[in-house]
A and B are shown apart, each in its own frame.
Chain A
Amino acid sequence: MLTEGGTSRIGSPQLAGGAAVEVSGLRVRSASREILKGVSAGFARGRVTAVIGPTGCGKTTLLRSLNRLHDQRPGMRVEGEILLEGQSVYSRGRDVRELRRRIGMLFQRPNPFPQSIRENVALGARVHGLWRREEVDRRVEELLRRVGLWDAVHDRLGSSPFALSGGQQQLLCMARALAVGPQVLLLDEPTSALDPHSTARIEELIGSLRERITVVFVTHNLQQAARCADEVLFLLAGEVVEQAPVAEFFQRPADLRSRAYIEGKPV
């Protein structure tokens, strides 16, 4: 599988089915404790990888390491290596702006900009200079249709997104993330605050991204992981317990702790 565009632009090898993102020996420390203690994992190109594990195991921290969101927080120290298409994410000269354009993110709670619905979709592309002025309207419509929001919002593109339901807001954030053409999409429990209908819609969308975008999907919900993911990465107390294809993980987990976790027993 090849990702759409992008990869050749940075001149990296396009390994079909290889890892789009590779993490090795990742350690992340906050001021008070070590959150990730040497995590190594690969996120297969064009596949959906669910990151699961109990609360506090470092799922979100791992996710936020990938697009360097820890840079913002003083006291967070990141060590180890993360490669996006073979190139180091944390290298000195790395353009973080461009990195974050290529690695989009959806958060636990919807966080649309306090801007109009239209601007929410268009702003990212504008700051990255991706769209020509005359194509903005068409692109915005295209993206809103793609996430299934167009019919609900087409007559109020100029108004505040905060009037929308939580699920609609999260879909808007999805459109916002897709607008800048990411190769990787990080999802941090994006449905944890949503109703079942919106959850289904988001899951459907994640499925539709398969083959085109590499998805890293943090979730607390094992059924959701089983439904949406191709692979599962199981974290426990800042360490990787097991990474395996989804069917294998749920039917024949290699590690006893995985089995216990799947069965809802204490690990």
Chain B
Amino acid sequence: MSFFPAAQGTGRRAGPLPIRRPVRLRDADLTRRDRLVRSGLLLAAGIPTAMLVLIAAEMVVQSVPAFRYAGWGFFTGRVFSFGNLYVTKLQVQNGVSAPHGATYGAFTFIFGTLASSVIALVVALPLAVGAVLALTERVPVRLQSTVSIFFELLAGIPSVVYGFWGILVLGPLLAAHLYPVLGRLGAVVPFFRGPVGYGEGLLTASLILTLMIVPIIATTTRELVRGVPILAKEGALALGMTRYETARVVTLPYVRRGIWAAALLGWARALGETMAVLLVSGNLLNGLPANIFSPFSTMAATIVAMLDSALTDATGMAVHALAALGVVLLVITVVTNLLGRLIIRRVTGGAVLPVGRGI
């Protein structure tokens, strides 16, 4: 083991041997066994791709009747109802038949998904970045990895546990202590006006989501902050700047682009998060939340909540309608991802390197 010389200063061994370039083999050089292994690997690599394409295709195929039935009303309508599933009377709309009274308007769910994930992101981003800076600048190096482990554990808690805790503990706690205070903002901000509820609703769900995405953003940001060259930071320290000033002047501009990417990762998680949101959302079906404290629902939560009754629809339209929700969710996730990547490229493409705005 003493083959590797000790790395200077740290007392740790030097890293592993450098990775070699892959050697490209010609077909003729391969033995039969090589070929067998290769086809096996190709198959293994192909399965996920095929799965993804098949799932997306199936979702789209399943959703088409619902989109045809509802038309644009699917995106603008605020009432989402499977209709009367107990009588055989049908209703035909745009050449597609569904149970009597069926209305598939998903606007409230689209709104709920976007609102809860955006609120979560807005709260989580400064929290995560602040936590990382506090961790890397304030906590002694020896304790840093220990503290980091807790961040990673936080990311590993099953979402149903978050939801359960949210509905039993966090929601009532917030409704009793924090929300009445926030409610006073209602005098200025309309969305905070009105009753603060009992802890099941948009804000509670958003805060649970915040807890779930902070670790994602924080762990990514921590790696970025660690990667900032010491030489760059020492330039600021040697000029008599404090650690805080150094972080603002040097560290943050260096990692800004990466933080946007980390935020996107977190946002993607918040958009698709289902179980925790379902538990604390209050599950409002038809209508927009009256204020930030009131019940609401998201697309993902609705799919789970309503799938059971949808399966009892003999016409199959209810399942189609939920599939349509799934497609919209998929598209929103993909579009926000692409949009975010585009913004990142736009922001960083023009300038040679980051330019901060000073203190």
Contact = CB atoms under 8 A, between A and B. Distances in A.
Contacts of B237: 69, 72, 100
A112 interface: yes
Contact of B235 (A31, A101, A113): A113
Contact of A160 (B6, B242, B352, B357): B352
Given A99-B240, A101-B240, A127-B240, A30 B9 contact: yes
Interface in A119-158: 119, 122-124, 126-128, 158
A115 B253 contact: yes
A149 B309 CA distance: 74
A114 B353 contact: yes
Interface of A: 30-32, 67, 69, 72, 74-75, 96-101, 104-105, 107-109, 111-116, 119, 122-124, 126-128, 158-160, 162-163, 173, 176-177, 180, 186
Contact of A107 (B235, B254, B351, B357): B235
A113 B238 contact: no
Contacts of B11: 31-32
Which of B10, B235, B253 has the largest count of A CB atoms less than 10 A from its CB? Answer: B235
Interface residues of B, number: 34
B223 interface: no
Interface in B228-264: 229, 231-232, 234-242, 245, 249-250, 253-254
B347 interface: no
B358 A114 contact: no
A228 to B, nearest CB: 21
Contacts of A72: 234, 237
B235 A173 contact: yes
B238 A69 contact: yes
Interface of chain B, helix or strand or loop or mixed?
A: loop
A97 B242 contact: yes
With most chain B CB atoms within 10 A of its CB, the pick from A101, A116, A124, A127 is: A127
For the complex of A and B, list the 6 residue pairs with the smallest distance between their C-beta atoms, beginning with the closest. A100-B240, A114-B253, A162-B353, A105-B238, A111-B235, A101-B240
Interface in B300-317: none
Contacts of A127: 239-242, 245, 359
B331 interface: no
B239 A104 contact: yes
A162 B234 contact: no
Contacts of A31: 9-11
Nearest to B234: A69
B232 A32 contact: no
Contacts of B355: 114-116, 158-160
8 contacts: A97-B242, A105-B239, A108-B231, A109-B231, A111-B229, A115-B358, A160-B352, A162-B352
Interface string B37-73: 0000000000000000000000000000000000000
Interface of B: 6, 8-11, 140-142, 229, 231-232, 234-242, 245, 249-250, 253-254, 351-359
Nearest to A75: B9
Contacts of B6: 32
A113 B236 CA distance: 8
Contacts, number: 109
Contacts of A123: 239, 241, 249, 358-359
A109 B229 CA distance: 12
Nearest to A109: B231
B354 A160 contact: yes
Contacts of B9: 30-32, 75
A124 B167 CA distance: 50
Given A30-B9, A32-B9, A75-B9, A115 B356 contact: yes
Contacts of B142: 74
Interface centre among B10, B250, B353, B355 (most CB of A within 10 A): B355
Nearest to A103: B238
Contacts of B357: 115
Given A30-B9, A74-B141, A96-B240, 7 more contacts: A31-B11, A32-B9, A97-B241, A101-B239, A116-B358, A122-B358, A127-B240
A164 B196 CA distance: 56
A119 B250 CA distance: 12
B232 A111 contact: yes
A67 B236 CA distance: 13
B337 to A, nearest CB: 27
Contacts of A124: 239-241
Contacts of A115: 249, 253, 355-358
Nearest to B141: A74
A158 B140 CA distance: 37
Given A162-B353, A173-B235, A74 B253 contact: no
Most chain A beta-carbon neighbours within 10 Å: one of B11, B238, B353, B356: B238
B240 A126 contact: no
Contacts of B245: 127
